[in-house]
Amino acid sequence: KGDRISMIILLPKKESGYTLKDVEKELSYENLKKWLMKMQKTKLDAIYIPKFTFKTKYFLKDALTKMGMKTSFSGNADFSKITGKKDLFISNVIHQAFIDVNEKGTEAAAATAIVMKLTAIKPTHIFRADHPFIFIIQDKETGSILFMGRLVNPAE
């Protein structure tokens, strides 16, 4: 609730020839900040965003082991300050995300933001996400990216 959490949609202009892959190649935290600073406020008469739901689940043990956390996943781990025993180690790390966008707004785990408002009178400034785009759920206070994904076929 409130306006601390926002949804950003990176929608390449069809007529520019710029594709989703082009945006993905250039996407970095620094570029995102730069792009957002260049944006101008525009009053939109209509916003069209397709309904979509994403559910993902990643097992991170292998990735974290490769990043140097080998001991945490072995019998040599020392988490005795948690339980007082030395036989505790991490067996896996699981990351799960859920994002649901519909006419009522966006639900991303516990983050909710209203993303659209439609009007019926002669729309002149329209935002229509009807081709591939990247979506980002961001905490506006901290700048932290909470979720990020892409919708390749909005018609489905």
* 1 has pLDDT over 70: no
Domain range summary for the chain, segments of one domain joined by +? 1-51+103-156, 58-98
Rounded to an integer, what distance in angstroms lies between the CA atom of residue 146 and that of residue 52? 18
Residues 6+ apart with CB under 8 A from 60: 92, 93, 94, 95
Which is more confidently placed, 17 or 104?
A: 17
Q: What tens digit of pLDDT does each residue of 21-59 get?
A: 999 999 998 998 898 888 877 787 778 888 888 888 888
Per-residue model confidence (pLDDT) at position 106:
65
Pairing status of strand 105-108 against strand 126-128: unpaired
Rounded to an integer, what distance in angstroms lies between the CA atom of residue 106 and that of residue 67? 33
Please provide the CATH number assigned to the domain covering 1-51+103-156: 2.30.39.10
Rounded to an integer, what distance in angstroms lies between the CA atom of residue 128 and that of residue 48? 5
Cβ 19 vs Cβ 154: under 8 Å? no
Q: What tens digit of pLDDT does each residue of 81-135 get?
A: 877 777 778 888 888 888 888 777 666 553 333 333 334 445 567 788 888 899 8
Per-residue model confidence (pLDDT) at position 119:
41
